[in-house]
Structure formats: C-alpha cells, structure tokens
A and B are shown apart, each in its own frame.
Chain A
Amino acid sequence: MIAPFSEVLVVAGILFALGAFCAVVRRNLIMIVLGIEIMLNAASIVFVGASLHLSNLDGQSFVLFILAVAATEVSVGLAIIVYAFRRTGSFDPGNFNLLG
C-alpha cells in the first residue's frame, strides 16, 4: 500500500465533511442528494483503504454494494424529487415545508 491508512482516513474524513457541508448548505434538492452521494463515497474510500490495510476482502465487497445502493438511492430520490419539481417547479427545499 502506498499511502498510510491514516492519510486515507483523513482524506475520507474531509470528503465526508464536504459532502455533509454540501447537503446542509445548498438550497437545492438535487445538490443535497449529491452531497449525500459524496458522503457515501467517503465511506467507500474508507472501506477500500481498510480492506487494503487489513488485507480483508469484506471491504471491497462493501464498496460494490455501496455502488449499487447509491444508484438505487439516486433513482428513488430523483424519482420523488423530479415528481415534486413537476408539481411545484422548484428544487428549493424551503418550498416543501408546509406540514406541521
């Protein structure tokens, strides 16, 4: 392994934070989903790094599944979001706050 595992963790951590930041800050439903995807990727990086670090293949399989799940997530999420967009013409999460 070229890079030490701790540096992998740092990178993943930064990526995770960036994803979270994106999800929290951008007032756009699509961007929120995107941010969440980035967080998933951060996790994937840790899994891969750990898998290499530990010489354990579980992590690799994890990543495979994450890819699939992320795709599902995007499809389900986008389906709902796009439908919502069609009804309201807006991606602003603030427009979807009528309940309560």
Chain B
Amino acid sequence: MQKIGVFVCHCGTNIAATVDVKKVVELVRYEPGVVFADDYMYMCSEAGQEKIIEAIKEYGLTGLVICSCSPRMHEKTFRACAEKAGLNPYMVEVANIREQCSWIHKDKEEATKKAVILARAAIAKVNLNTPLQEGESPVTKRALVIGGGIAGIQTALDIADAGYEVDIVEKEPSIGGRMSQFDKTFPTLDCASCILTPKMVEVNQHPNITLYTYSEVEKVSGYVGNFDVDIRKKARSVDFGKCTGCGECQTKGPLGKIGNIPSEFDRGLKNRPAIYMPFAQAVPAVPVIDRENCTYFKTGKCGVCAKICPSKAVDYEQQDEIVTVKYGAIVVATGFDIINLDKYGEYAYNECPDVITSIELERLMNAAGPTGGHLERMSDHKAPKEIVFIQCVGSRCDDDKGKPYCSKVCCMYTAKHAMLIKDHWPDTNITVFYIDVRTPGKNFDEFYRRAVEQYHVNYIKGQVGKVKPQPDGSIIVQAADLLDGKQINKKCDMVVLAAAIEPNPGVRKIATMLTASIDNNNFLTEAHAKLRPVESPTAGIFLSGMAQGPKDIPETVSQAGAAAVKVVGLLAKDKLKTNPCTAQCDTLLCNGCSTCANVCPYGAITYEDVQVNDHGLRETRRVAQVNVALCQGCGACTSACPSGAMDLQGFSNRQITTEVDAICR
C-alpha cells in the first residue's frame, strides 16, 4: 500500500476563488492510500516545494498527488521536487484543477466536487504507480549517410566539419547524384558542376569522411545511438589502391571509348563502355566494370582493359565485400528519380526520340553532354526551332497513373531551360503548356517573369491531350487553351516533358530496413510535419533532401544542414536518456502474434524465442520484446494487444481503468 500525500494548491485565487481548497483537502484525506493532505497558496513556489519535501520525509510518503495547474505546466517541477526528497519522480501525479476545473467553472460547489473527483482519480492512479527509472544507452560517435547526392554530401560535410566521423554509402560508382547531371541551376543560372564538384572533392579529401561508392546498405539492426549496418561493397573489378584514374582502360575496349551500353549518367542519350567512370569529374576517379555487360565476364574472352592498364589495377577476381560498421545516427538522402513514362502513351515519349524529358534536356545542353552542349534533335541532329514544354506530366494527377503531389521544381527549371535556349539560340520559339505556374521562393517569380517578359516565352494555360509525331519529322501537340477556350494544334520539332519526380525506388527497401515510415508516395515521413521536419519518427533516423519530399537545391542544402545539426546534437551526447514511460511486454501473457509490431511506428518491437516458466510450465515461446531506446511511449501497441500482455509504464491498463472507476464512482 502506498503512503500518499495530497497537496492542494490555491494558485493565489486562480484555484481558490472557485474551488473550496480546504474542503478538497478534507474530502480526499480518507481516500485509500492517503496519509497526508494539505493545501498551500503556491505549491510550485520554493516554500510550497519545501512543504512537499518536508512531508515526504516526515510521513515517509511513497506517492504524491498535486492538485494544481496542468501537468503540462508543472509536472516536471514537482517530479524534480520529489526527486530532491529521494522519491522516485514517477511517483507523482498531478490533478489538473486549474485549467480543467477552476478556470472553466463558475459554481463553487460544482467546481469543488469536480476537483475532488479529479483528485480521487489521481490518488487511485498513484496507488498503482511504480518507480520508473530513466534508462541510458551509449552513443556510437559515427554517422551514416545513405546517398551521395548534394543532400548526402552536404549533410556529411556538415557532420564531418563538426568533428564527427561520417560514412557515405552511394550505390552508383561516383557521388554527385542528380545535381551532377544538371547543366545550370535556377534562379541564378550558375553552372551545376562548378558549384558541386568542389564539394565532391572536399568529401573525398575530408579526414572525417569515408566513402563507400558502388555500395549498398544490406542490413540494419540496432537502434538510436547503436546501429549495426552491413554495407555491401560491390566488386568494382578495379583495385582502388593501384588505379590512378588515367582513363586509359576506357579507350581501348571492344568498341573503344564509345562503347555500346546506354550511359545511365547521360540518360541513354550516349553510350559508354563496360569499364567506365560515369562522368569525367567522378569521385572517386576510379572506373568500375559493369559485369553484366562486360565481354570478359560474359564470355571469358577479351581482357583488353587489364592488358592496357598501366598500373595493373584491373582485377577480374574481385569479390563483393560486406563490411559491418557501427553508427549512432543514420541520414537517409536517397534522392529522387523521374517517373517512368510508359503509362503516358499520349506523349509519345517511347515512340519519338525528339520527345525528351527535362533531365535529358539538361544533358543535351551540357557542354560535357552527348552533344557537347549543342541542342539538337536526337532523330536528325538538327537544331530545333520550335520547342514545346509540357508541364505536370504525372504531377498533380488524381488518377492512379501519376502522382497526386506537385513536383515543385518543374515550373522553375522549365523557365530556366526556356531562357537558356533563348540565350544561346535566340531564333528558337518556345511554348510552355502549364496548368498553374508555381513560383514561390526568393527571386523565383522574378525569374519566371523574365522568361515571359524579356524572353517572350509563350506560356499557355492548357492541358495537352496528345503528342503526335509526324512522318516529316515534325511533331504536332494537341492541346486545349483553357483561357481562350480554343483547341490548339501546335507544330514543333521538339517536346520536353516535365515528368513528375518520385523518391528513388530503392528507398522502400531502405525504409523497411530502418523501420522508418514512408507515406503513400514512398516519401519518408517526418517525426512531425512542422516541428520535426528532418527527423524520422524512428529515433536516430534523419531525413535529407528529396527522399523526404520534392524540393530544390537550396532547400535541399538547408535541410541537409538541419539534418546534420540534429545528428551532431545526437552524437555530441555520451549517453542517451530514455523515456521510462515505455511499453513493456508481459512475456507470460504474450501470444507472439505480432499485432503490436504491426502498429508500432518506431519499429521498437521485435520477437524473440525465450524460455518461460509459466507457473511451472516450462516452454519456449515467441514473445514480443520492446526496445526501450526506440519506444516513445505512444501506447498504440497496448490497445492492439488482445491479451493485455503489452502495457505502458506510467499509463498502464490498470492505472487508466482505475482512473475511470474513480471518476465514475
């Protein structure tokens, strides 16, 4: 049986004016478990707290009920006060008789009655309270960044600069990501590689950063502060130590420098050989052999690259390697891709080489791209004179074909493309079919207006019904002009599609490994959309870049920095304090049915086969185990559990039931 002290606060007149405080004291004095009850003007004041401490010592109190303002206000205060007197802070319950009683009721008798009932509920609860201990878990001072695009690069640099070790895992042979494919960036039109390459080099040279390129995360276990991650380093077939990055190997293969494999980097607009570096500024500057397409790996014959390599770096015998590394925090920066356009037959993308995506246009306009920066039609290599841009291809769709969201960057990059084309080839006519032009952002609307006003880009609010390639090589775009209400048949010689962006398809697998939640569109979910936008609900997992949602480069970079700060904030701690109000499984009642794990937003519940002794019956059972470092104490599992095995400390089934009983008494 507890020895409970009840302390009723007047809060000046805030409570006392409507609640007869003395009467409350008299009426709760005889509740089961109560050994002491008193009132005071300001319970939270130093004198008030002193009173509590004295009573704890004098009466050997084991539990406290403070009838005062909201626990959201002073629960911490009173818990600290209890702790000072040597009482476990979780043996304190607060009855909210100010915000939820005296302030909203006028009739003193009624308010007093209610205050007594609220106090009784709190007393009944404290009778079932048990001392809870905050747990501690150590922190591995190393972070993992998954994805080596601009988001991952920036996050890694910021963490590394703060003095912590960080590893980047990138599945491609080089870091750089999508940004390295871009030509110029809006709204300043500076060259993407000019601003990105220095950062890539910095990453490569940073003493705190380890790069795992051509590598993938294979398995994740553990929890915040203590993740164990298996990284698969795919066989590069080129010895990192020996290769000097001279590039000789890529020139003399079966098809020389041209190769016959569509280059991923150039979006298939150009070919590459089987041994390749994706692009000239690749980091690391070490080629890989694409084994699926290599003649040697396919037929056992060839071996030319090995013969010509001056440093004998080519190693056909190399094997995939799995390294296991411990991390304290993980940042997901897996970025995006554009949607597959197979479902959009009306745009003739698969049919006509002159219907291209915006990202292909980036490559076509890039000096290092397949055409050396000359904008030309892929069909006849002639310069296009009439170009149509189609917006929202698969964005803002209400059917199953596309995505319901706005891809956010298309309006801006289309204006950028239009202006760049007009700058280089002023005699080109450009028409943009849009649904809405969205330009919120610093200098964004000015940028768009320049395209319309200075460059005379023809913006038509209208939806494109069909893109029809013509036998003469031209293309007719059928559209409705929504403002004029007219049907348009626009003849042109190139069509550029602003295809919707989507999270990198690999993110689903990674999210599952990390037990990080993702939304219906496969974007990672934030812990709180407004207040914790760079954290995943799963503790220790952070979000950076497009993996979380569509955003442009400056936003990505700022989010990357924010994620880095959160990581640093975590790594700076030697120990993590864990919330003691966590779920707990009664292994004797647990069925091992996994229902609780299905509703846990934090992946805090795992299953283990344990040996139990159920009143003398010994057997091995599959039971739930709660990782208290991950559990945030929401209690979703407790309501899902049919047998009542899963319970929440501090808000246990019996505690809440007894509160209900006390109120209904």
* Chain B associates with chain A: no
